[in-house]
Structure 1
Amino acid sequence: MSKIEILSSCIIKMASTTMNNGNASAISKMDLTPWDLMPLLICPIQQGLLFHNPNPMHDQFKKTFIHHLKTSLSRTLGFFPPLAGRLRATENDDGTSSFYMDCNNAGAEFTHANAPGVSVSDILDPIYVPEIVFSFFTLANISNLEGASEPLLGVQVTELEDGFFVGCSMNHAVADGASFWHFFNSWSEISRGLETISKIPVFQRWLPGKINLPIHIPPLERRNMFADFDSDQSMLQRVFHFSKENITKLKYRANAEAGTEKISSLQSLLAHIWRSVLRGRHNNNNNNKNNSSINQNPENQEIYFIVPVGTRERIPLHSCYFGNASYGATIATNGDDIFHHGLGYTAMKFHQLVNQQTKEQAIKNMENWAENPAIPSKRLSSNICVVSNSPRYDVYGNDFGWGKPIAVRSGMELKVDGRITVYPAADPGGGIDVEAYLTEGTLEAMANDAEFVESLAGICHARFTS
Structure 2
Amino acid sequence: MAKAESNSNAQVRIHSRRMVKPFGVNGEIRRPRQLHLNHWDLHYLSGDYIKKCLLFPHNPAMDSSKTIDLLFSSFCRTLDIFYPLAGRFFTTVHHHHTTPFLSIHLDCNDAGAEFIHAATSDLTAEDITSSSTASGAILIPPVVRYLFPLSRAVNHDAYFLPVLAVQVTVLADGSLFLAKSFNHMIGNGFSFWFFNTWSAFCRSAGTAAVVPPTVEKFFLPSTPPPILLNSDKTSEFIYHEVFPTMREGFFCFSRRTVATKSLRFSRTRGVKLQYKCSEWACALGRPQGGMEDMQNWSLVNPRTFNGTTVKRTLC
| TM-score (normalizing by structure 2) | 0.75
Q: Is residue 222 from structure 1 mapped to residue 238 from structure 2 by the alignment?
A: yes
Which residue of structure 2 aligns with residue 322 of structure 1?
314
Q: Is residue 20 from structure 1 mapped to residue 26 from structure 2 by the alignment?
A: yes
Q: Distance in 1 between matches of 2:32 and 2:300?
A: 28
Asked if structure 2 preserves the Cα contact closer than 8 Å seen for 1:85 and 1:101, the reply is yes
Q: CA deviation at 1:137?
A: 0.7
Aligned residue identity for 1:213: P
Q: CA deviation at 1:71?
A: 2.0
Asked if structure 2 preserves the Cα contact closer than 8 Å seen for 1:3 and 1:132, the reply is no
Greater strand proportion: 2
For 1:139-154, list aligned pairs within 5 A: 139-154=150-165
The partner residue of 1:104 within 91, 105, 109 is 109
Asked if structure 2 preserves the Cα contact closer than 8 Å seen for 1:312 and 1:321, the reply is no
Q: Distance in 2 between matches of 1:166 and 1:68?
A: 13
Q: Tell me: CA distance 1:313–1:2, structure 2 relative to 1, closer, same or farther (3 Å).
A: same
Deviation readout 1:322-343 (Å, 9 max, x if unpaired): 26xxxxxxxxxxxxxxxxxxxx
Local SS of the residue matching 1:64: helix
Local SS of the residue matching 2:28: coil
Q: Distance in 2 between matches of 1:21 and 1:156?
A: 32
Q: CA deviation at 1:154?
A: 0.6
Which residue of structure 2 aligns with residue 371 of structure 1?
none
Deviation readout 1:195-241 (Å, 9 max, x if unpaired): 3542310113322211110001234332135x314xxxx52112234
Which residue of structure 1 aligns with residue 4 of structure 2?
none
Which residue of structure 2 aligns with residue 164 of structure 1?
176
Q: Tell me: CA distance 1:123–1:36, structure 2 relative to 1, closer, same or farther (3 Å).
A: same
Q: Distance in 1 between matches of 2:158 and 2:50?
A: 13
Q: Distance in 2 between matches of 1:308 and 1:39?
A: 20
Asked if structure 1 preserves the Cα contact closer than 8 Å seen for 2:19 and 2:112, the reply is yes
Q: Tell me: CA distance 1:101–1:49, structure 2 relative to 1, closer, same or farther (3 Å).
A: same
Q: Distance in 2 between matches of 1:73 and 1:37?
A: 27
For 1:297-376, list aligned pairs within 5 A: 313=305, 319-322=311-314
The partner residue of 1:130 within 123, 141, 151 is 141
For 1:45-444, list aligned pairs within 5 A: 45-57=50-62, 61-93=63-95, 94-127=99-132, 128-160=139-171, 161-179=173-191, 181-192=192-203, 193-219=205-231, 220-225=236-241, 227-229=242-244, 234-241=245-252, 266=277, 269-270=279-280, 273=281, 277=283, 294-295=290-291, 313=305, 319-322=311-314
Q: Distance in 2 between matches of 1:103 and 1:215?
A: 18
Identity of aligned residues (%): 27
Q: Distance in 2 between matches of 1:155 and 1:176?
A: 16
Local SS of the residue matching 2:100: coil
Aligned length: 278
Local SS of the residue matching 1:184: helix
Asked if structure 1 preserves the Cα contact closer than 8 Å seen for 2:44 and 2:155, the reply is yes
Aligned residue identity for 1:88: F
**Which moves more between the two structures, 37-46 or 237-246?**
237-246
Local SS of the residue matching 1:206: coil
Aligned residue identity for 2:243: D
Q: CA deviation at 1:266?
A: 4.8
Q: Distance in 1 between matches of 2:94 and 2:214?
A: 29
Q: Distance in 2 between matches of 1:131 and 1:36?
A: 29
Q: Distance in 2 between matches of 1:224 and 1:113?
A: 29
Aligned residue identity for 1:199: V
Q: Tell me: CA distance 1:296–1:112, structure 2 relative to 1, closer, same or farther (3 Å).
A: closer
Q: Tell me: CA distance 1:75–1:123, structure 2 relative to 1, closer, same or farther (3 Å).
A: same
Q: CA deviation at 1:304?
A: 9.7
Asked if structure 2 preserves the Cα contact closer than 8 Å seen for 1:88 and 1:99, the reply is yes
Aligned residue identity for 2:26: N
Asked if structure 1 preserves the Cα contact closer than 8 Å seen for 2:79 and 2:86, the reply is yes
Q: CA deviation at 1:20?
A: 3.5
Q: CA deviation at 1:53?
A: 3.1
Deviation readout 1:342-385 (Å, 9 max, x if unpaired): xxxxxxxxxxxxxxxxxxxxxxxxxxxxxxxxxxxxxxxxxxxx
Aligned residue identity for 2:83: P
Local SS of the residue matching 2:76: helix
Q: Tell me: CA distance 1:21–1:45, structure 2 relative to 1, closer, same or farther (3 Å).
A: farther
Aligned residue identity for 1:195: T
Q: Distance in 1 between matches of 2:202 and 2:296?
A: 42
Which residue of structure 1 aligns with residue 264 of structure 2?
none
Aligned residue identity for 1:20: N
Greater helix proportion: 1
Local SS of the residue matching 1:235: coil
Q: Distance in 2 between matches of 1:12 and 1:130?
A: 30
Aligned residue identity for 1:218: N
